[in-house]
Amino acid sequence: MTAHSVYAVFASADEAERIARQMIDERLAACVNILASMTSVYRWKGQVEQDREQQIVIKTTSERLAALEARVRQLHSYELPEFLVLSAEGGSAAYLAWVEDAVRR
């Protein structure tokens, strides 16, 4: 089993919290960390934009990754949601076992 942390951002804390709870309820994630809100400056469709966004980190497994991404895309308010996967190399065996158990159907 390989664990992953997924980095994503949302338009608001409410949206991040709602989707985080769904990911846990649907066993797509073992844990979702909702981090401090931030200001993002980015280029979108030829324009420089600036918005407040909410960052999250989602803990899941390789087996649940595709379903997690599909569900985030389905629930997200953005046309192109950020979904970056950071694979874990090593780590606490007990923690990795907990992640796997938490997302087991």
Give the pLDDT of residue 97: 92
Q: Helix, strand, or coil here: 40?
A: strand
Calculate the dihedral angle through the C-alpha atoms of 45, 49, 55, 59, rounding to the nearest 10 degrees.
20
Q: What is the DSSP letter of 81?
A: -
pLDDT in tens, 18-71: 999 999 999 999 999 999 999 999 999 999 999 999 999 999 999 999 999 999
Q: Which secondary-structure segment (H or E) carries 66?
A: helix 62-75
Where do the domains of the chain lie, and which CATH numbers do they carry? 3-103 (3.30.70.120)
* pTM given for the model: 0.92
By the 10 Å C-beta count (0-12 exposed, 13-18 middle, 19+ buried), 2 is classed as middle
